[in-house]
């Protein structure tokens, strides 16, 4: 399965360009590689046996759990065979979230707070869980309707969903940490890379910064993130570059500001990651 092409195709054929809600049910679990989105994702897990890796933390999911990822997060589900894999997935364009600002409560809070805090997992109480499921079903129904105002109703349902999602996020107890596999030192390294991705990051430098041996860092980083240090850094740089292009930043500027000192290598790496070179991406985004 070519995940990036599959996601890009779905994203381009969405009926809306600001957000969309999908329901998936796979009897045979798909194989999904590490990836990232140009949009924000709400992953609403319904059934199956899944652990989900996001930026070095792995979440052991229970039915009803919700995960939040933004447009910089590198993530991957590990889906085990044996049970049907069912979930709602909501994709939201960053501009849509930005437009909700100033219209009452900050509906982006669960995303921004999760990026600053440790965990991106929400475990709603049963009554809230039922409400969130119901709203997803209403979004799906209005998406498929052709009646007057269906699109407007979908947007209203999403805003309602975000209200209850934020309530559930801030009510989720710290006890969820027992379902998170992590290494504090690797968390610090990942945070450092996120802050200084454009710097000359090497195994030698990071080992010096964090006062650990190169072999320990290399082994533990791959163990907890699922990627080598080099793979993670390149993926992160490309992800940020992609976001910059979406915001209208020139290709050369994105290349240089994301730590790629060689333009031709940047073009090749971008095409490998996203299936097209930066100029093609800009034309078709």
Look over the chain and give the mean of its residue pLDDT values, rounded to a whole number.
91
pLDDT per residue over 75-96, tens digit each? 999 999 989 999 999 999 999 9
C-beta of residue 179 within 8 angstroms of C-beta of residue 124: no
pLDDT at 15 over 60: no
pLDDT at 1 over 50: no
Confidence bin at 6 (pLDDT 50/70/90): very low
Instruction: Give residue 277's pLDDT.
Output: 95
> Which of 44, 59, 45, 50 minimizes the C-alpha distance to 81?
50
C-beta of residue 76 within 8 angstroms of C-beta of residue 35: yes
pTM over 0.75: yes
> Which of 240, 192, 257, 272 minimizes the C-alpha distance to 74?
240
Q: What percent of the chain has pLDDT over 70?
A: 93
pLDDT per residue over 38-81, tens digit each? 999 999 999 999 999 999 999 999 999 999 999 999 999 999 99
Tokens of 54: 């996001």
């Amino acid at each position: 399965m070519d995940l990036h092409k599959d996601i890009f195709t779905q994203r381009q054929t969405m009926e809306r360009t600001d957000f969309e809600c999908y329901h998936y049910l796979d009897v045979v679990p798909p194989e999904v590689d590490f990836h990232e989105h140009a949009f924000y994702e709400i992953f609403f897990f319904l059934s199956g046996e899944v652990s989900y890796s996001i930026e070095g933390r792995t979440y052991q999911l229970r039915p009803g759990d919700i995960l939040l990822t933004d447009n910089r997060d590198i993530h991957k589900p590990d889906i085990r065979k044996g049970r049907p894999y069912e979930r709602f997935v909501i994709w939201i364009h960053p501009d849509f979230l930005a437009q909700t600002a100033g219209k009452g409560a900050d509906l982006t809070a669960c995303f921004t707070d999760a990026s600053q805090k440790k965990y991106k997992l929400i475990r709603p109480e049963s009554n809230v869980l039922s409400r969130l499921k119901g709203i997803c079903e209403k979004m799906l129904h209005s998406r498929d309707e052709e009646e007057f105002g269906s699109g407007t109703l979908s947007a209203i349902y999403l805003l309602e969903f975000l209200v209850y999602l934020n309530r559930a996020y801030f009510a989720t107890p710290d006890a969820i940490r027992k379902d998170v596999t992590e290494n504090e030192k690797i968390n610090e390294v990942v945070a450092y890379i996120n802050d200084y991705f454009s710097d000359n990051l090497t195994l030698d430098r990071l080992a010096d910064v964090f006062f650990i041996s190169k072999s320990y860092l290399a082994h533990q980083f791959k163990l907890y993130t699922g990627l080598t240090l080099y793979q993670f850094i390149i993926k992160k740089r490309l992800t940020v570059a992609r976001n910059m292009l979406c915001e209208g930043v020139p290709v050369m500027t994105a290349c240089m500001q994301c730590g790629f000192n060689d333009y031709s290598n940047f073009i090749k790496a971008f095409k490998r990651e996203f299936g097209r070179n930066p100029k093609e991406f800009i034309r078709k985004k």
